[in-house]
Structure 1
Amino acid sequence: MAFTVGIAGITGKVALCVTRELLKRPNVQIRGYCRNPTRLPLQISNHPRVQLTQGQHDDEATLRSFVKGCDVMICCYLADNDVMVEGQKLLIDLCVEGGVGRYISSDYTAEFPQLKPGLYRKKDPILQIKEYLDTKNIKAVHILVGLFMETLFSDLFFFWELKESEIRYFGSGDETWELTTYWLS
């Protein structure tokens, strides 16, 4: 019996890792959604168990068609707050409408539920999405990876202040940092 996984934002780094791992399972069908399918490696875009849909985060009709028939939706959006909040809310609503059983939200991060809105503005969108998912009839999953090693010293990592040689944190400062990598092997 085939199991269908939708991956919104399939061209991103995390999405590509997830896609490659899922394709190792012969019973998994993948439905990918992205703005530009030509950005995908050919071994994924040409794979017989991958179906691609091109569209924008706010294209309700195209998203509705994409979501239809998925058992799980993995959101791998990485963009501005409008996409991270409003884009995900639309995707969540369409998943609920379409009977998708599980939604994995788009923020693979540290233990964010302890944060208060405004403490780290870059994390406010995921707090809003968690609150939104709590009101919906869908099983929500939030992936708490701690931190990806690949982004630890990048410009994207908002705890690290390179110019000041400081790390911003919440808590006592004695908490353990959990790190992982995009690739497991």
Structure 2
Amino acid sequence: MITTATVLVAGATGDLGRRIVRELLRHDTLVRVLTRPGTGTAHGMYGGDDRVEVHEVAYTDRAGLASALSGVDTVISAVSGARPVIVDAQRALLAAAVAAGVARFIPSDYSADYRRITPGSNRNFELRRELAADLDAAPIRVTSVLNGAFADMLTGQAPMILFKRHRVLFWSSPDQILDFTTKDDVARIVALAALDANAPRVVEIAGDRVTARSIAGTMTELTKTPFSLQWAGTTGTLAAMSRIGRYLSKDKDQAFPAWQGMQYFVSMFNGEAELQHINNDRYGPHDWTSVRDVLDVHLKETTDGH
């Protein structure tokens, strides 16, 4: 492992980015936070920590990026968005990292396996695949972290569990394996990968592997109320619905519109994005947070009225 590394985190004020910075600071690490000029959020968040430097730089400012990246060992991107962010901003960050002689780059993937999906089936995955071609051609060591979907989304953001109706939705098959990892577990692995000079091109992790059927069983056990499976159609039907939603969408650069969520479920339930080479033990044994753990906490908080 690298000791006293300097790691730059782009997107450090976001939900995942904050968690990554927290994990990095558990190690002998100096952190630089890259933030857009004028927001002030990063200074409010990290201003009191002498191990964190805040650099306000626009991605179009090549000289500013070069200065922020000078002396950095690893760049971690945790930016979130559509093409202007995932492709354009990260390309600028990659070019600056190469120019500054940065050794390693971790792009903002943090998703299911986008490499095998059918072209045209998932916009956000295809943006990652497009950037991956640039990353593979660049003279820099790259590590992508693939983790399935964020388990945290099962508590409401991903409308798969209908809590009040005691149903669990599925498309095509209730027995398709689904990979889920919490944001905290992803952040821990990203930090460790950033400090691992021998990290491979891709690190695949899954905090839990479940099916719609097993989730229904878990919900039944946790609530003492029967949760049943509900067929919501085929993945082909869902793909068609997402295409219609995308066509009718007014904001083409929104990061997670409803139709993109549909595309994510298509990629998961048709098996194309299922992780094939999971290595949860690369950084030693760890108590991974299961889907059951996430749902148990959510149900208790909901019951308590929080």
Which interval holds the TM-score relative to the shorter structure?
0.7 to 0.9
In the TM superposition, residue 124 of structure 1 has moved relative to its aligned partner by 1.5
1:17 aligned residue: 19
Answer with 43-52 or 120-129: which moved more: 43-52
Superposition CA RMSD, Å: 2.6
Residue 180 (structure 2) pairs with residue 179 (structure 1): yes
1:34 aligned residue: 35
Q: Distance in 2 between matches of 1:44 and 1:175?
A: 42
Q: Distance in 1 between matches of 2:111 and 2:120?
A: 17
Q: Distance in 1 between matches of 2:170 and 2:122?
A: 13
Alignment of 1:161-172 (within 5 A): none
Answer with 87-96 or 36-45: which moved more: 36-45
Q: Distance in 1 between matches of 2:112 and 2:54?
A: 30
2:48 aligned residue: 46
1:57–1:83 contact (8 Å) kept in structure 2 = no
Indicate the SS of the match to 1:16: helix
Q: Structure 1's 73 and 173: CA in aligned 2 closer, same or farther, altered over 3 A?
A: farther
Deviations 1:61-115 (A, max 9, x none): 2111111111000001112311210111111111111111111001210011112
1:11–1:37 contact (8 Å) kept in structure 2 = no
Answer with 70-79 or 39-48: which moved more: 39-48
In the TM superposition, residue 116 of structure 1 has moved relative to its aligned partner by 3.6
Deviations 1:119-174 (A, max 9, x none): 211221100111111111111111101111223442xx6x97x9xx96669xx885
Alignment of 1:86-125 (within 5 A): 86-125=88-127
Q: Distance in 2 between matches of 1:92 and 1:43?
A: 25
1:29–1:49 contact (8 Å) kept in structure 2 = yes
* Greater C-alpha radius of gyration: 2
In the TM superposition, residue 41 of structure 1 has moved relative to its aligned partner by 7.8
Q: What runs of 5+ residues in structure 2 fail to find an aligned partner?
A: 163-167, 186-288, 290-306
Indicate the SS of the match to 1:130: helix
1:33–1:53 contact (8 Å) kept in structure 2 = yes
How many residue pairs were aligned?
176
Q: Structure 1's 167 and 108: CA in aligned 2 closer, same or farther, altered over 3 A?
A: farther
Match of 1:126 among 115, 121, 128: 128
Q: Structure 1's 51 and 37: CA in aligned 2 closer, same or farther, altered over 3 A?
A: farther
Q: Distance in 2 between matches of 1:131 and 1:167?
A: 33
TM-score (norm 1): 0.83
Match of 2:66 among 60, 64, 67: 64
In the TM superposition, residue 55 of structure 1 has moved relative to its aligned partner by 2.2
Q: What runs of 5+ residues in structure 1 fail to find an aligned partner?
A: none
TM-score (norm 2): 0.52
Indicate the SS of the match to 1:77: coil
Give 1:31's aligned amino acid: R
